[in-house]
Chain A
Amino acid sequence: MEFNNNIPIYLQIIDNIKQDIVVGKLKAGQKMPSVRELAGTLKVNPNTIQRVYQELDREKITFTKRGMGTYVTEEEKTISSLMQEISKKIILDFVEGMNKLGFSNKELINTLKEYL
């Protein structure tokens, strides 16, 4: 994974994991790699991964069983709302970018239709 050093690394890893969950690369109920393992693969500080799991736990996207590790949530609802969250963000970025280029919302829709 390539990081953008301008943005906190734990946020980038969180986004990446969320995406993997939504597209099914990480399945509901699946065990996540240990902190050390993931730190090794991504070549980042283990404390950063600790922070990632804490944050994901807090958002109820993962849950940690004491002494067993971290698992992806089994709640379908959480996963579908995650999907919404991510798609909303992509759309917002797109609309914002197009508006910046001077496209009105109507023009933007037409351009998009042409493209599809």
Chain B
Amino acid sequence: MEQILKATQLSKYFYQKKALDKVDMNIEKGKIYGILGPNGGGKSTFLKIAAGLLKPSQGEITIDNKKPGVYTKSIVSYLPETNYLYKWMKIKDALNFFKDLYTDFDTERARESLKFMELEEEEKVTSLSKGMMGRLKLTLALSRKSKVYLLDEPLNGIDPISREKIITSILDSYSEKASILICSHLIYYIEKLLDYVFFLSEGRIILSGDVEELRNKRGMSIDKLFQEVF
């Protein structure tokens, strides 16, 4: 399979603290990856570097053979954990904002997704519940026709109904031409979606593999394996 993202000995230090420590990762097209680990394990740092928001301290990351920059930002869709939408916005403003910002934003797809997510375009961003906000952010991130999707904790603090909707839309947006990286510690809910996992702890990959092979070899779910490893 064709490679889309490659990290080589990628390290990131915050003063003395090692957030990422010599991480190697190969991401192929058409697969869904889970980057799993406890809080502070380095998951978000990795995604931020891939999204071009942080610079690596050492090592290298390339996306479509390019270092993070203007080009990679045009092919990478990043769903941050924080709320980044302006308070004055209505949902339709957020859509327009994304349309202006990204040429690959598919408004048609976004509208369909809003319907599925049961969100109204006239609603104000500040009036949304946490679950609705999660659904909106995912809609925005998945409505771009990107080559790489970086989803940081898409299920964190999300109610069960929103969770199902989010999982369904992630599956719907799967394409053989794109890869999806999901950071999460809610493994139980996402493990059916994943092809491959990386377990990240204290900035290092301590285990990685094809999920079905891991289940086969260890005779347990990825969730249980996670609890055993940590």
**A residues neighboring B (CB under 8 Å):** 3, 5-10, 39-40, 43-48, 51
Contacts and interface: CB of A to CB of B under 8 A. Distances in A.
Contact of A44 (B172, B193, B213, B220): B193
A8 B215 contact: yes
A5 B224 CA distance: 9
Given A6-B220, A6-B221, A39-B171, A44 B212 contact: no
B179 to A, nearest CB: 11
Interface string B30-42: 1110000000000
B195 A43 contact: no
Contact of B221 (A5, A45, A47, A51): A5
A6 B216 contact: no
Interface residues of B, number: 24
Of all A-B residue pairs in the complex, the 7 with the closest CB atoms, nearest first, are A5-B221, A8-B212, A44-B192, A8-B215, A6-B221, A6-B220, A8-B216
A39 B192 CA distance: 10
A43 B215 contact: no
Central interface residue in A3, A9, A10, by most chain B CB within 10 Å: A9
A51 B212 contact: yes
Contact of B168 (A7, A10, A43, A48): A43
B195 A47 contact: yes
Contact of A5 (B32, B172, B195, B223): B223
A91 B31 CA distance: 39
Contact of A47 (B31, B216, B223, B224): B31
B25 interface: no
Interface centre among A3, A46, A51 (most CB of B within 10 A): A46
B212 A5 contact: no
Contacts of B188: 5
B123 to A, nearest CB: 27
